[in-house]
Amino acid sequence: MYPKAPELTISQWFNTDDPPSLGALRGQVVVIEAFQMLCPGCVSQGIPQAQRVQRSFGTDVTVLGLHSVFEHHEAMTPVALEAFLHEYHITFPVGVDEPGPVNGIPLTMQSYQLRGTPSLLLVDRLGRLRLNAFGHIEDLDLGAVIARLIDESPQGTDRLDP
């Protein structure tokens, strides 16, 4: 019913010594903020929201950043990203979406068919893509969706909570 979330194709990770993968994160709820460091909507809305998710849900979810550069490639280099992460106090792992060979669209952005940045991706405990939202999503709605993913069983969505 839900599509499998494609594996992330990352050329370089920041904020982690242990490069994450969706495969290794199976069993956990993963929140992926796809952004570009020079995208105003990402800076003012998307990234602060991802930081709030990290603060509100703690270890119940894994928050990852995905730097999907599809414009101004020469400006948003990994070295520039590193400075950006430092200045904006971003502490979750951030992966550089692998540059694509042809049209400038990076590989993970292509496999998820992202429409732009910011985009928010939610992957459930079974590794399935449950949300792929371009633009702004209300915190109330996001909190509801994440809570429901957290409450799903790793064996499926059947629940027998107390």
- Residue selected from 14, 35, 84, 92 as contacting its own copies according to rule CB under 8 A: 84
Of the two residues 111 and 133, which places its CB atom closer to its own copies in the complex? Answer: 133
Minimum distance from residue 23 beta carbon to its own copies (Å): 22
CA distance 75 to 123: 30
CB 29, CB 61: distance < 8 Å: yes
**Binding of its own copies at residue 27 (CB under 8 A)?**
no
* Choices 5-13, 20-28, 107-115, 132-140 (CB under 8 A): range interacting with its own copies: 132-140
**Nearest Cα to Cα of residue 110 among 50, 54, 70:** 70
Residue 58 burial by Cβ neighbours in a 10 Å radius (0-12, 13-18, 19+): exposed
- Residue selected from 7, 24, 27, 72 as contacting its own copies according to rule CB under 8 A: 72
| Burial readout 89-105 (b: 16 or more C-beta within 10 A, e: otherwise) | ebebbbbbbbeeeeeeb
**Binding of its own copies at residue 15 (CB under 8 A)?**
no
**Binding of its own copies at residue 136 (CB under 8 A)?**
no
Give residues with Cβ within 8 angstroms of 94, minimum separation 6.
Answer: 13, 14, 15, 64, 65, 66, 67, 81, 85
Of the two residues 15 and 157, which places its CB atom closer to its own copies in the complex? Answer: 157
CA distance 75 to 70: 11
**Binding of its own copies at residue 126 (CB under 8 A)?**
no
**Binding of its own copies at residue 139 (CB under 8 A)?**
yes
> Which spans of this chain sit near its own copies (rule: CB under 8 A)?
38-40, 43-44, 52-53, 56-57, 71-72, 74-77, 79-84, 86-88, 138-148, 151-153, 157-162
